[in-house]
A and B are shown apart, each in its own frame.
Chain A
């Protein structure tokens, strides 16, 4: 890869991560927030794989694989929770589930 250095990949990963953070903090729709969390996980994966290639060690890839497994489980459970929430409160707005306030 000519003028593409490992750093480029890290930059991309960082960018996507930040965009994900932005989404988590600002969006009000629960599902969209969740999707942004997935974005963040992916960005982390990208970073892992980038380092793995740079060092030449395949452990990063194994870890990335595990991250994906966990992400899958998390999505399943998280969506189940969202379903119950929406069923019980009839809203998909995060700001409506703030009972633990002062």
Chain B
């Protein structure tokens, strides 16, 4: 079961990643591809016993960040790809594809040999409770700093995006 899930999620993740990059039409298409990728990745996270992180991935990444992207795209009122000339330089396309697929083949070949075992983890690994406990006891400083960082980000975003009305 898990094997099947793994394959489903990974193939969607990779495919939608390709969609983000190789999409030649409007950026909205790229954004939608990105959502799919995020969700697939969230699935993969859950498979890795990181439920909390997976949850946050859906809520924050797929739910807020990509939405933010979409808002900005709409705000800027884009038509088409928004760029003049070719989107992807042919040379880079060629090299890039070569690299990506070449390495994939190589990785898959190596993969065929690797069968490392999974260690056992207790049931509470990666649950919200466990993460919450860890965050608010051992890593509480990081949480506070992250908070300050978020505050700074908000202020910055507001200031930078303001229209100069004066």
| Nearest Cβ on chain A to B150's Cβ, whole angstroms | 6
Taking a contact as CB atoms under 8 Å apart, the answer to whether A83 and B93 are in contact is no
Contact partners of A86 in chain B: CB under 8 A: 76
C-alpha gap A93/B3 in the complex (Å) = 42
Instruction: Tell me if A22 is interfacial: C-beta within 8 Å of chain B.
Output: yes
The 10 nearest A-B residue pairs measured at CB: A73-B153, A23-B21, A80-B160, A92-B82, A80-B161, A22-B96, A80-B157, A26-B92, A93-B83, A28-B83
Which residues of B are at the interface with A, using a C-beta cutoff of 8 A?
2-3, 6, 10, 13-14, 17-18, 20-21, 23, 27, 30-31, 34, 37-38, 41, 44-45, 47-50, 52-53, 56-57, 60-61, 64-65, 68-69, 72-73, 75-76, 78, 81-89, 92-93, 96-97, 99-100, 103-104, 107-108, 110-111, 114-121, 125-126, 130-131, 134-135, 139, 142, 146, 149-150, 152-154, 156-161, 163
Listed by A's residue number, 22 A-B pairs whose Cβ atoms lie within 8 Å are A1-B3, A1-B6, A8-B10, A9-B44, A19-B14, A23-B20, A27-B88, A29-B27, A29-B82, A35-B69, A38-B65, A53-B50, A53-B118, A53-B121, A68-B53, A72-B150, A76-B154, A79-B161, A81-B160, A83-B75, A91-B84, A93-B84
Q: A53-B126, A61-B131 are in contact. List 17 more A-B contacts (CB 8 A).
A: A3-B115, A5-B117, A9-B48, A11-B108, A19-B100, A32-B23, A35-B27, A38-B65, A39-B17, A54-B118, A61-B50, A61-B126, A66-B146, A72-B64, A72-B150, A79-B69, A91-B84
